[in-house]
Structure 1
Amino acid sequence: MIRILLCTIVLFSVACTSSKKDSETVLFAGEIVNPTSDQVVLFKGGEKIDSAKLDSKNRFKFNLANIENGLYHFNLAPEYQYVYLEKGDSLMVRLNTIYFDESLVFSGTNEELNNFLLELFLSAEEEDRAMYAEYYEMEPQEFLSKISSLKNDKLKRLNELRAETAISDDGYELLAGNIEYTYNRYKEIYPFQHRRKTAEENIHELPKGFYAYRNTIDYNNKNFTYLRPYYDFMKAHFGNMSYMNCIKGCENRNFKTSKHLHFNKHKLQLIDSLVVEKELRDNLFRNVAFDYLLKRKDKPEYNEMFLNEFKTVSKNNMHIEEIENLYQGIANLQPSKVIPNLSVASFDNETRTLSEIGKNKKVMFYFWSGNNKKQYQEIFKRVAELKDKKPDHEFVGINIRTDYSDWKVILKNLGVDTRSQYHTDNYKEFTETLVIYPMNKAIITNNGVIVDGFSNIYYN
């Protein structure tokens, strides 16, 4: 019934056909139940291609001329999902935002490819949980057998799908790559998670051929650059190789600087030596920078040394401004610094600065977004607990990425004290200046002076 309804909608609204049109135009349309935004935005990699407003029936439509075949993603804030498009496609999507990925169904040309791609995404989420709950504890040979079984099952189904439908060679390569890199990533992670799970002192000895797939890794597949399993594999792969190379070649080194700095310089150099494709290279370098600067509480001088090394190996990185802003933001949030003098709006739409709010008292600033109901409900629940634990602190919430009027409605529905709630519509300035990664971030001040610029609301 769902398929019949979908095809009826497509035929009626976008003239869907079961075969591709002679035209090179791509028609991508859909219907959104319970929309969280009034528009759908289409991206190719990091570049915005187009946006489409929802009509009165919560439908959208893209007419796309002269676009490349390949992997795209569409965003309905705050969620996003893949879509694979080829010239001549007429593709429909229907989803309910309450169960975003689970409710999503494609219909039209290339529906089989896109539904299988979505199925791989959903099964990977389940298998990730099983890996950490059970599989990483297995002995190496048992683990390899489990991984091979899971992978071969999906490859078999992919080949059956290819025999039954007209999947293009590029589409098949994308799906096969998705499967291969998903399971190869688990192998890169296994030695470290196995040691953690079993409390073994050293990395477990692995059977010969455990990493045999490394001989066929394509470090420069432009079509895979924004394919999540490929990118996640690359992150795990470079982390694994950096650690192993360092253990073998640097174990007797007398670390005169931070071990974290030393290890992350290894990662930068490995990426530099193996990856040529510009976007993948830049994205991997960005990942190393964010991982080091945000997670490793090194001395400021080590952060500066890392940034200099980063600029040396990653010249003209497209993320350099973002990384420099992150570096500066971290420097400005060190203890004894005055909190950045950013402006926010009160519930009564009065402008105040963070310094004014924190004057003559101890304050914990915390952050939330109206786009994620579960997240902000948990944060307000945690704040209520902290008020009992820390009665000498004032707890000040700052909302980001929410329309001002929607923010006020949420606060009224929650029944919280609006006197300690503020709003900003400058998401980029706040996240970069206050280094709001992740959203659980908290900043503790005393009389406007920073006590802890990198606290976590759940670890207080």
Structure 2
Amino acid sequence: MNKIIVCIALFLLASCGEKEKMSPTVFFAGEIINPTNDYVVLYKGDQVIDSARLDANNRFSFSLDSVSEGLHHFYHHPELQYIYFEKGDSLQARLNTTEFDESLVFSGKGEEVNNFLLEMFLINESEEEHVYSLYKLEPEDFIKSIDSLKDDKLQLLNDLNAESRLSDGAYEIARSGITYTNYISREAYPFYHKKKSGDKDFHVLPEGFYDYRKQIDFENEHLTYLRPYYNFMKYHVGNLSYMACRKDCGGSVSVAHNQLHFNRHKLKCIDTLIKQKELRDNLFRNVAVDYLLKPDCEDNIKAFIDEFHQLSGNNKHIEEINNLYEGIKKIQPNKEIPDVLVTDSEDNQVSLKDIANGRQVVFYFWSGVELGHFKNIKKRVAKLKKKHPEYTFVGINLRTDKLRWKTLVEAHNLDKTEQFWAGDFEDVAHTLIVYDPFKSIIAKDGRIVDAFANVYTSF
């Protein structure tokens, strides 16, 4: 009788386990200490899957009836981090926004791979300075050193897999994160070694240095949004484009002074190399945004956009790129500054054109959300005011509640006549192309002098 009872119990446990495993539902919940926003947003790739509002106790929860297994991201402004889902997962997250990544911990079904991915992310961040120091080594010693770092991480992964039996998909994501981080360092080596050594030309690399390229998986859609994989692809395209240009175009290639030429190489490289649609679209977008946000003449910009449309006309980001292009055309030198409305300290709406009329103005941007950046900008502007009294430095506040903006202006003794609040961040960011945190716009008599100035490098 006892044997029969044991057998029945084991059968029921196995049945429950099988039912849990096959359940399509995923539950994800958590608590955020010191929240910076009211929402947590869940992404698969660059598509919003769902959003959850924090309750009175700063808790959130998602219950997903059906989910595409694999890598996701969750976003709590301004931070974003990985989360890996498999059917039947029930995950809890806890974090403190003052140390977002360092404080984040997962618990529950699915915790093993998620905590491991987070651990690798933090290790990679902590190793950046050390890896940079290794670029001074000769190629053989460099490979030996970075492979040692990679092997240590793979051992940690294999130990975890032996204990927790990760799924094939989870193991692949974790392993790819480790290997492609290693590949990034190899791609970067010729450039950083030249810089570190002070050599006039690139070091002659030993035969087989790039053998790892035979292992690159260009078609794995599960890796598209894995940060090390995507960053590697950007390095790889840049490396191949630079070396091909150097070989085929003759002379020394000055990327800084020939942006159009070099970025055409990158477009053609992606077109030839990458066939997987989402990765291809994202890499084309990356090249376009990178090029368009750097100053160039209108004829060159148009030539680039024409070629972009020719090679990637069905890009899923095409509307974004076209809008960026149209916006950039409107802020070229000698064009009238866009008629963007902002609010002064007495709640009056004023246009940037009126602010710049009859004087030389430098518009700079800050946010009450990122106080460290605000304090640095404030110090920098104070120095620039003394150095360049011919300019009026005007601060435009973004992504901050109006009352908080007024409080910050008052608390930091800023000149209220030179501080304005922008209520519609999206409108200002898209119209004035505010992507760089140190961006500034120099204007005179209502017309643009330089719409891509930088408060640290342009004065």
| Residue among 423, 431, 436 paired with 1:433 | 431
In 2: Cα distance, 1:384 partner to 1:307 partner: 39
Q: Deviations over 1:34-61 (max 9, x none)?
A: 1111111111111111111111111111
- Equivalent residue, structure 1, for 2:413: 415
Q: CA RMSD in A?
A: 1.9
Structure 1 residue 220 and structure 2 residue 232: aligned?
Answer: no
Deviation at 1:22, TM superposition (A): 5.1
Instruction: Give the 3 Å change call, closer, same or farther, for CA 271–392 of structure 1 in structure 2.
Output: same
User: Would you say the 8 A contact 1:325–1:433 is kept in 2?
Assistant: no
> What percent of counterpart residues are identical?
51
Amino acid at match of 2:120: L
For residues 39-58 of structure 1, what are the structure 2 equivalents within 5 Å?
Answer: 39-58=39-58
Q: Deviations over 1:318-359 (max 9, x none)?
A: 222222222233322222221111111122221110011111
- Larger of the two Rg values belongs to structure: 2
Give the TM-score of the pair, scaled to structure 1.
Answer: 0.92
Deviation at 1:264, TM superposition (A): 1.4
Q: Deviations over 1:387-432 (max 9, x none)?
A: 2112222111111222323322333333322222112232222222
In 1: Cα distance, 2:272 partner to 2:122 partner: 34
- Equivalent residue, structure 2, for 1:34: 34
User: Would you say the 8 A contact 2:245–2:253 is kept in 1?
Assistant: no
| Residue among 317, 320, 337 paired with 1:319 | 317
User: Would you say the 8 A contact 2:27–2:64 is kept in 1?
Assistant: yes
SS at match of 2:339: coil
In 1: Cα distance, 2:20 partner to 2:128 partner: 36
| Residue among 444, 447, 459 paired with 2:445 | 447
Deviates more, 1:368-377 or 1:165-174: 368-377
User: Would you say the 8 A contact 2:223–2:229 is kept in 1?
Assistant: yes
Amino acid at match of 1:264: N
For residues 370-409 of structure 1, what are the structure 2 equivalents within 5 Å?
Answer: 370-409=368-407
In 1: Cα distance, 2:443 partner to 2:252 partner: 40
Structure 1 residue 63 and structure 2 residue 63: aligned?
Answer: yes
User: Would you say the 8 A contact 2:364–2:455 is kept in 1?
Assistant: yes
- Equivalent residue, structure 2, for 1:121: 121
- Equivalent residue, structure 2, for 1:187: 186
User: Would you say the 8 A contact 2:246–2:252 is kept in 1?
Assistant: no
Deviates more, 1:188-197 or 1:231-240: 188-197
In 2: Cα distance, 1:317 partner to 1:106 partner: 36
Structure 1 residue 130 and structure 2 residue 123: aligned?
Answer: no
Amino acid at match of 2:173: L
In 2: Cα distance, 1:253 partner to 1:39 partner: 50
- Equivalent residue, structure 1, for 2:104: 104
In 2: Cα distance, 1:150 partner to 1:110 partner: 26
Deviation at 1:253, TM superposition (A): 11
Amino acid at match of 2:25: T
For residues 64-103 of structure 1, what are the structure 2 equivalents within 5 Å?
Answer: 64-103=64-103
User: Would you say the 8 A contact 1:71–1:84 is kept in 2?
Assistant: yes
Structure 1 residue 366 and structure 2 residue 376: aligned?
Answer: no
Provide structure 1 residue ranges, at least 5 long, that are not aligned to the other structure.
1-16
Deviates more, 1:244-253 or 1:205-214: 244-253
- Equivalent residue, structure 2, for 1:282: 281
User: Would you say the 8 A contact 2:131–2:146 is kept in 1?
Assistant: no
- Equivalent residue, structure 1, for 2:262: 263
Deviates more, 1:66-75 or 1:286-295: 286-295
- Equivalent residue, structure 1, for 2:10: none
